[in-house]
Structure 1
Amino acid sequence: MTADHPATAAHEIRGYLTYTDHGDSPYWQWGKVIEAFNGGRKEINVDLDGERWVVSVGYQVGGLEPRPSDAVDGNLREYRVTAHGEEERKLPLLIQPRLDWSSKRRPQSVPSDLGLATNVKLEQCVNLDPDEIENLIPRMMSAIATKAGVDWHPDYLTGTPHEYSRCTQYERYLRANREYARKIVRSDGIFHRLFHLLADQEGSKIVFSADNRDVVGYNHQLQLPTRAVSEMFPDGTRHGMQLKHYHPEHVRKDEKTDDGELDPLYHPKLGALFKKGLNDGAHPWNEIDDLTQELEETLINVLEWAEIPTKGSGSFVSDWHFDANERSELDVALFDDPTPAVEASQESVLISTMTRLSNRDQDILEGVAMTDGGSTHVDELADETDWSTSTVYRALRKLGDLLENENGNVSFISQKIRDRVNELVDQLDETVEATTRIIEDTLQVDPRDLERKGRAWQNWLTRYGAELIRDGEQPTENAKIRVREILNTYKSVSYDNVGEVLEYGRISWIKAGRDPATFDDAIVVFDVGNGNTMSGKASRLIEQYAPG
């Protein structure tokens, strides 16, 4: 557990607070306030604790019917209160009646046992914490009623909201230094890794969108339903949420303003957003503190997984609502990064794909790997590899597990895959040259037959990072085979599968037209991890460690 991290700040909240202590009286009394303003008024100045708020009030005709005893023509009114505070704080409210309707008239959205109440809908409160919202509502309405010259009971809309009150949307954020934040949205960043980890979950709808319009990370969003978030954290069921990395609409090009002041908006926000639509329903307002804890815990863990330091304030930038130097009062749990499985999965895909490449496929894969930045256009790839554009497109369909093709722009699905392919290309350059020379010498075949007869052996060498070492004048004398595991999946080869690997190699050797006795007598040296090796004659190792 740790609390040595900045406290996150509330960005936006939606929901509704239902008050029952005074029944429907606050609703009807507020109607008198609106009447005193002749149906509405703009730019009402209100001062609360030294903060200036500019308020507009009005009404709309809602969809709820009055009771027969209500002296109302048509549907009931709903009253709007929109208050704008300093530094973009906003409190927009909709005051609605809850009138204990009979079963025939009661709206389906109103619980049958609610009784008389006044509902305050939070339209989209901005830069206000939940407790601030509860505190501001009665004080704001009392101040406005005073301006209208209408009596307002000081206890209206105070106290604890009814248990039916709900939060439907809630985002908390912190502002990360732009240099650090790039780790989150780069091609092998935590958003991409989480998407690749969770996207193949059956029954889950996971959406990742990346908008790099004006700057990398302009607006990246990862929508994760409940099941996906619970997969990230091993401590039980969690809420579905949306992870966000975003800049303001007009991206700042400089860290300082024209006046030479530091501009916090140069740096992006990292947000965690609870949404009703990503869950089974809205969240109880009386448990809002638990949701605050969960949102903050998610943000801190995502930063940790992105290898962005969360202790201290060096990774963060203060703005008008987020204080990088304010320590959180919440103790959040830190969990292990769940995404290393992505690397293993991607390398497994790489292995299976590389072992079935044709010359065309290999040329195109190497062509993308060798480009600056790991991205190129199909036309450039065709020119580079001398394959036709249509052939390149066919190859890209086969290489879809490794390469992305967006409108003709080709790149690797991740930086990790690109790095691994580059390693493999270097290995192949050395191995192919040596192996081709050996096979030519041994088989004395026409070069046109070399690929056909040597393909199986070459595939085995490639898959296990192996090489055939000459110890004598003739390549078949005193043969030694060195197996170097160059992919994570095979870095720790267990003794249990040594026999299987060598049996596959023997079959490949024979398919290449070579004498099986030479392979059987060859000394095989295996890298088994941590600088250790094991060795022995191929035939004995096959017999000793044969599967089953």
Structure 2
Amino acid sequence: MSDEFAFLDKATPIHSDSDDPVRSKINQHEADESRSAVGTTGADQFVSETSAIPLRDGVVSQCRYCQERFRTDTDDENHSCPKQPVASCRYCKEEHFSRDAADNHLYHCEPFRRARAKEHKQQRVHAMHGQGDPQPGRFIDPWYHELRAYVKYDCSDKPSPLKSYSGFSDLQKEHDFEQYGNLQLEMRGDFNGIKSDDLTVEFGFKGSGIAPSEDPDFKLEEVREYQIYIYPGEYEDYSEAADNGRQRAHFLIRPRWPGIASESGSEIPNPHDITGFDIEFTGSNIPFTTYPELLHSAVTRLKGRQGFRWEGPTYLRPNDFHPENIHKSSNIVDAELYVRVKKEYTRRVYAIDGTLHRISLLLSDERRGYTKSIRDDRECPGYYHTATIGPDRISEMIPGHEWPREHKHYHVKHPKAIEGGPLNQPKISVSLQSSLVAKTPKWSQLDILERELDEALLNVLKWSDIPIRQDNQVYVEDDYFKATASQRFRKLLHGQLPRIETMQDREVKQLVVAGTTTETDVQLLETLLTDGGNHSPASLAEKIDCALSTVYKSIDRLGELVNHRYNDVQLTSQYIAQQIVRHLDAVKQSINTDLETAVDELVRAEEFADPQGADPWSLWLQNWVENIRENTDGPDELILGFEPADVSEARRIIREGAGKWAQVTGKDRVDFGHEFVPVVQTRSGEVWSPSQWNFLPGLAGFKSRYLPV
């Protein structure tokens, strides 16, 4: 059979095989970079796996990133490759091999900073607020309050790794503690954030309960813990400086070696078997990063005091306490940042409907995890208010945050005794609550922790309508906090708490209008509302006398209203609990009616709304309105089920509803005032119920229609 395409063999080619006109038009540099990173040229992309990888007997596959080989498909599926990138920055193309690295990268990415700064100058940053990216700006600088950390110094690779401990012992013997008390020396130096003209370094010791080391080079019969105190020189001792709220640092120094045990024989934790020191840092009003520098300088100063009583002591080695020797297992257990604000500006922070109360209410589960709220106004308004949130919900407040924290508004212990001075103004602060989480931040993560605290504090100020820029009319300087601002990238969210509240409102309202709620759902909700303790699906089935499978179906129907994990079922938040109490009667009634009737009893929207409730007006009604009260001689009353913070917020919500109504009906927004007037009660109990002609002027289009030009 002849080849019908044989005549093409005599044709002259326009391009050679080596000059592919299609390939030459394609920019391949990004693909080539990716292939180079994983060790391939791209030529094997369409070669079968068997031919591309020379496999040995028993090997079924191989990881393309780390080249590890697998003998079973299960091993291949379970392989988590540390060399496989999980993300790549779209600004600088840097690859990241962990989620933490990807999340934190933008704070240090120069191409991102330049791009975002350009967008900020062009006034387009506002379009990206709330999306989780850090924003540039000059923000008020908080000051450093409390710090507590356990910092380990590893001397294992040094000759005589516990030489400095013997040096502390010799220094102790050179000083007469019984006659003179603790050893006190002056120290001067240039320390970040420290008034260093006159500092006192105080040296002392106490018993440790540690058994001596069995190492023959360890010649001490009694093991002691040594203490270094640093505080301003005008005070007699550390306690006096603490009572006056002065800058201060305390270092409790404990020796560590492999196999360390107490005098009773019990093992003392030393998980990394370091030989060196475990030092507890505590202090106040000092920048967090300054503590290691202070310790190193204090040990250097104490070394200069050795050799006065006898020759040839074992000298301290200050470089054993150099910041470079800090071990990776060092961790932070308490850290706090604060600003001081004039009290006339802070009511929205601590009020019953204020930011702290809403944080506690909206971000705390009904029974899961940990939440605590304290309100104490005995000394003065806003005397001591806190909202503590555990790790389960902290990322809902600010996406990407990891560590639990406590938000505070508080005054000094006796505010009436210092009327007129800066200390009479309250502090607004945020602090780490490490007791609520098993994995505390490492000392190497100090910059990330400080940034999380800073962002949390700035957002609370913003949500409380307190300026986050430098403002000497709002902020009050004290001996340490200065009302200064600095340029930095911080994640600022606009109205995050109201968004959480709206989302939870929507879930509750859905109970009423969905028409799918069953009697089992109501019984389950009533049980979660009224019974204390935790509930498993099995215990709920027993309480409401139904099958376990029925309970599981009910949990699925209730969706975001309940949390079900680890065999524990509970309401999502205290706010949802309150809302369910308000709407439960309506839910019960909706069970006995069809969907159309249930919706009609909640809202009167038949004239304008989509029957399926999917148009913007119907969705707005579902989210915000509890009832529409019909009037025969005037506009119907639109009764909000949501309690806004104030009338200003109520006006905003109603104007939004007027816009949705106009969008669906095709009428002007001002016509909304001829159909409805609002009835709103704020959280403080104020009722806003304007008449028709008091309400109309606030709607768009009123001036052009009713006022003369």
Task: Sort the TM-score into its range (normalised by shorter chain).
Answer: 0.5 to 0.7
Partner of residue 296, structure 2: 138
* 1:330 corresponds to 2:488: yes
| C-alpha RMSD of the superposition | 4.0
Cα distance change, pair 528–289 in 1 and its aligned pair in 2 (3 A): farther
Contact 2:340 2:477 survives alignment (8 Å)? yes
Q: Aligned partners of 2:260 and 2:468: how far apart in 1?
A: 55
Contact 2:142 2:338 survives alignment (8 Å)? yes
Contact 1:39 1:59 survives alignment (8 Å)? no
Cα deviations by residue, 1:353-406 (Å, 9 ceiling, x for unpaired): 9xxxxxxxxxxxxxxxxxxxxxxxxxxxxxxxxxxxxxxxxxxxxxxxxxxxxx
How big is the shift at 1:280?
Answer: 2.3
* 1:27 corresponds to 2:165: yes
Counterpart of 2:286 in 1: which secondary structure?
Answer: coil
The structure with the greater share of residues assigned to strand is 1
Partner of residue 205, structure 1: 370
How big is the shift at 1:73?
Answer: 3.2
Cα deviations by residue, 1:80-117 (Å, 9 ceiling, x for unpaired): 22222267111111111012227997945211x43311
Q: Aligned partners of 1:159 and 1:466: how far apart in 2?
A: 70
Residue type matched to 1:2 in 2? P
Show the 5 A alignment for 1:174-213.
Answer: 174-200=339-365, 203-213=368-378
Partner of residue 147, structure 2: 13
Give 1:58's match in structure 2, choosing from 199, 204, 207: 204
Residue type matched to 1:84 in 2? Y
How big is the shift at 1:135?
Answer: 0.8
How big is the shift at 1:164?
Answer: 1.6
Cα deviations by residue, 1:394-421 (Å, 9 ceiling, x for unpaired): xxxxxxxxxxxxxxxxxxx99xx9xxx9
Counterpart of 2:138 in 1: which secondary structure?
Answer: coil
Cα distance change, pair 535–3 in 1 and its aligned pair in 2 (3 A): closer
**TM-score normalised by the chain length of structure 1:** 0.62
Give 2:470's match in structure 1, choosing from 294, 306, 312: 312
* 1:79 corresponds to 2:226: yes
Contact 1:66 1:72 survives alignment (8 Å)? yes
Structure 1, unaligned stretches of length 5 or more?
257-262, 354-412, 422-456, 471-480, 498-525, 537-548
**Aligned sequence identity (%):** 21
Residue type matched to 1:20 in 2? D
Contact 1:243 1:273 survives alignment (8 Å)? yes
Give 1:468's match in structure 2, choosing from 613, 631, 634: 631
Partner of residue 95, structure 1: 253
Cα distance change, pair 533–183 in 1 and its aligned pair in 2 (3 A): closer
Q: Aligned partners of 1:528 and 1:227: how far apart in 2?
A: 46
Residue type matched to 1:77 in 2? R
Partner of residue 238, structure 1: 402
Partner of residue 365, structure 1: none
Partner of residue 286, structure 2: 128
Cα distance change, pair 67–43 in 1 and its aligned pair in 2 (3 A): closer
Q: Aligned partners of 2:212 and 2:446: how far apart in 1?
A: 32
Partner of residue 440, structure 2: 282
Residue type matched to 1:13 in 2? L
Show the 5 A alignment for 1:250-261.
Answer: 250-252=414-416, 256=420
Structure 2, unaligned stretches of length 5 or more?
1-134, 190-195, 234-244, 513-573, 583-599, 605-624, 643-652, 676-709
Counterpart of 1:331 in 2: which secondary structure?
Answer: strand
How big is the shift at 1:190?
Answer: 0.4
* 1:44 corresponds to 2:181: no
Q: Aligned partners of 1:458 and 1:109: how far apart in 2?
A: 65
Contact 2:147 2:336 survives alignment (8 Å)? yes
How big is the shift at 1:347?
Answer: 10
Give 1:264's match in structure 2, choosing from 411, 422, 440: 422
How big is the shift at 1:348?
Answer: 9.6
Show the 5 A alignment for 1:135-534.
Answer: 135-148=293-306, 149=308, 151-160=315-324, 161-200=326-365, 203-234=368-399, 236-252=400-416, 256=420, 263-314=421-472, 315-325=474-484, 327-341=485-499, 344=502, 464-469=627-632, 482-487=635-640, 530-532=669-671
Counterpart of 1:200 in 2: which secondary structure?
Answer: coil
Cα deviations by residue, 1:285-335 (Å, 9 ceiling, x for unpaired): 01111111111111001101111111122321111111102x235321111
Cα deviations by residue, 1:150-192 (Å, 9 ceiling, x for unpaired): 6433423113211121111111111122111222011211011
Contact 2:626 2:641 survives alignment (8 Å)? no
Q: Aligned partners of 1:336 and 1:268: how far apart in 2?
A: 25
Q: Aligned partners of 1:320 and 1:67: how far apart in 2?
A: 46
How big is the shift at 1:282?
Answer: 2.3
Q: Aligned partners of 2:292 and 2:427: how far apart in 1?
A: 26
Counterpart of 2:430 in 1: which secondary structure?
Answer: strand
Q: Aligned partners of 2:635 and 2:327: how far apart in 1?
A: 73
Give 2:277's match in structure 1, choosing from 109, 115, 118: 118
Contact 2:627 2:638 survives alignment (8 Å)? yes
* 1:4 corresponds to 2:138: yes
**Higher normalized contact order (CA 8 Å, seq sep 6+, divided by chain length):** 1
Cα deviations by residue, 1:493-548 (Å, 9 ceiling, x for unpaired): 89x99xxxxxxxxxxxxxxxxxxxxxxxxxxxx99994455999xxxxxxxxxxxx
Contact 2:333 2:440 survives alignment (8 Å)? yes
